[in-house]
Amino acid sequence: MLDMEDDYFLEEDKLGMTVTSGVVNIKKDQSNLIGISIGGGAPLCPCLYIVQVFDNTPASREGTLQSGDELVGVNGQSVKGKTKVEVAKMIQACKEEVNIKYNKLHADPAQGKSLDIVLKKVKHRLVENMSTSTADALGLSRAILCNDTLVKKLQELDSTETMYRGLVDHSKRVMKAFYGLLQVYKAFGDAFAGIGVREPQPR
């Protein structure tokens, strides 16, 4: 009974989320890279995880690995207890193709997109105000500030908003000018009507 209770309390609380494991093979590019940024690792963190999957890289094109996925092994070798530099060297040592074992944490699908956006907002707000050395120690690469697709989309939305605001302001100015022109026409009409009333009519 005591052992069962110990097992219960030692079990990791995943807050209702599920974990799935998998293995993926990724072919390297000409620079011998797969396009991921790694965070965590010894001596500060018990696990290694993917901080960022960069755009237009082998990892992003393959599509399996995502930010937040835990790295468990490289080419059949466990990465537990290793530093992120050691794991990066393990990946670089692989020729042409690298085999990566990972754990993926799944949140509630109904809240998945909003959760991802909230986490990315928090991540950006943290990294923006950090020095490079602090961000590197925590495994939060500052490269995410210019490589995150959500940030790019947000910038596009901001520029679109600015354009539409300009169009709305321009439309307001045009409407005001048109209203002023109508007032001039009205004044002319009133003047001609007054002249017509006072002009003697033939009998």
Give residue 195's pLDDT band: very low, low, confident or very high (50, 70, 90): confident
Q: For position 37, what pLDDT does the model report?
A: 86
- The most confident of the ranges 80-94, 122-136, 186-200 is 80-94
pLDDT at 148 over 80: no
Tell me if 88 is assigned to some domain.
yes
The mean per-residue pLDDT over the stretch 145-161 comes to: 73
Tell me if 50 is assigned to some domain.
yes
Q: Read off the pTM.
A: 0.49
Tell me if 129 is assigned to some domain.
yes
pLDDT at 122 over 80: no
158 shares its domain with 87: no
72 against 127, higher pLDDT: 72
Backbone angles phi, psi at 68, to 5 degrees: 100, -15
Q: What is the DSSP letter of 200?
A: P
SS3 203: coil
Instruction: Tell me how many domains the chain contains.
Output: 2
Q: Which of 95, 124, 145 is the last residue of a domain?
A: 145
33 against 123, higher pLDDT: 33
Query: What range defines the domain where residue 173 resides?
Result: 148-203
105 shares its domain with 67: yes
User: How many beta carbons lie within 10 A of that of residue 195, not counting itself?
Assistant: 9
Residue carrying structure tokens 């309390």? 9
Q: For position 51, what pLDDT does the model report?
A: 82
- The most confident of the ranges 20-34, 136-150, 159-173 is 159-173
137 shares its domain with 52: yes
27 shares its domain with 127: yes
140 shares its domain with 61: yes
136 shares its domain with 154: no
Q: What is the DSSP letter of 83?
A: B
Q: For position 160, what pLDDT does the model report?
A: 92
Q: What is the CA radius of gyration of the chain?
A: 31
Report the C-alpha gap between 57 and 34 in whole angstroms: 6
SS3 96: coil
SS3 75: coil
The mean per-residue pLDDT over the stretch 135-150 comes to: 55
Residue type at 58?
Answer: P
* 117 in Cβ contact with 151 (< 8 Å): no
pLDDT at 153 over 70: yes
User: Could you give the residue ranges of the DSSP H alpha helices within the chain?
Assistant: 2-10, 58-62, 84-93, 112-128, 132-137, 144-147, 149-198
Q: Could you tell me the two tokens for 32?
A: 């011998």
* 139 in Cβ contact with 45 (< 8 Å): yes
110 shares its domain with 26: yes
